[in-house]
Amino acid sequence: AAAAAAAADGGGGDAPASPAPAGDTGDTEGIWEQQLEELEALQASGEKLNDTQKNKLKKLKKKKKEKEAKGDGDAPGKSKGPKVSAAVLKMQEELRLREEAAAAAAAEEEARLAKEKAEEEAAAAAEAEAEAKRAAKREKERLKKEKLRAEGKLLTAKQKAEKAKMEAMREQLLQRADSSGALDVDAGAPPKRTLIDDRKKKKEMLERKKAQEEERRAAEEAAAKAAADAAAKAAKEAAAKAA
């Protein structure tokens, strides 16, 4: 480019060029063709030419056309198209290679982004499936507890203790009834009961046992109802919060 600029500046005057000495026509022709190639390469690189360089380039192109026209007249078989200089061809090849490299890099980046997106979508789908399974398991456990609570089988620690206490009392009453046929028997006292008294005592014992059983059942039902109400209230509050 510097050589082209220097050549253009040096040959841009209005004074006619000195005629080339005889025998130097080939050298002079090689010089102006080289200057033309350099100016064309400079222009192809995107650098702005000054007026002198523009005029020089115009003259050299004209001279090249005249030469080609003359050559076509001498050799009809030659192509009439303008000859592209080696410098221009080199610039065009470099531009093509840069464009191909940029296109390859863009395609590689696009493929990488597509792969990342596919991996993220697969991970999100797997997480959603796992969460759905966890939610189904929690719902199953909740329904199981609701069923046990409705049946009176899901008791608090206090309710379990009360139930165990009542069961123990019931067992004790049954054992005493089976062994002696009456409650609160004084082992040291002689038997003074008549048959009627024994029957009366047994009847009272059975009635008391029945009353205790009814009380126990009522207590269990009340506890189950209270637990069910509490569970329903908690579920309602949870649903309200979720909404």
Q: What is the pLDDT of residue 1?
A: 44
Q: What is the pLDDT of residue 193?
A: 54
Measure CA of the first residue to CA of the last residue in the chain; give whole Å: 75
Residue at token pair 């039902």: 221
Work out the number of other CB atoms within 10 angstroms of the CB of residue 154.
17
- What is the rounded distance in angstroms from the CA atom of residue 145 to the CA atom of residue 155? 10
Answer whether 231's CB lies under 8 Å from 149's CB: yes
- What is the rounded distance in angstroms from the CA atom of residue 135 to the CA atom of residue 152? 26
- What is the rounded distance in angstroms from the CA atom of residue 64 to the CA atom of residue 54? 15
pTM of this structure: 0.30
- Low-confidence stretches of the chain (pLDDT beneath 50): 1-27, 182-183, 185
φ/ψ of 163, rounded to 5, equals -65, -45
- What is the rounded distance in angstroms from the CA atom of residue 4 to the CA atom of residue 37? 8
C-alpha distances out from residue 114 to 100, 108, 128, Å: 21, 10, 21
- What is the rounded distance in angstroms from the CA atom of residue 49 to the CA atom of residue 163? 106
Answer whether 154's CB lies under 8 Å from 148's CB: yes
C-alpha distances out from residue 235 to 16, 153, 155, 232, 242, Å: 106, 19, 18, 5, 10
163-210 pLDDT tens trace: 888 888 888 888 877 666 544 545 555 555 556 667 777 788 888 888
Q: What is the pLDDT of residue 223?
A: 81
Q: What is the pLDDT of residue 115?
A: 95
C-alpha distances out from residue 85 to 41, 45, 70, 128, 218, Å: 8, 14, 19, 64, 111
- What is the rounded distance in angstroms from the CA atom of residue 217 to the CA atom of residue 159? 12
φ/ψ of 35, rounded to 5, equals -60, -40
Name the percent of the chain in helix, strand, coil, to the closest 5.
80, 0, 20
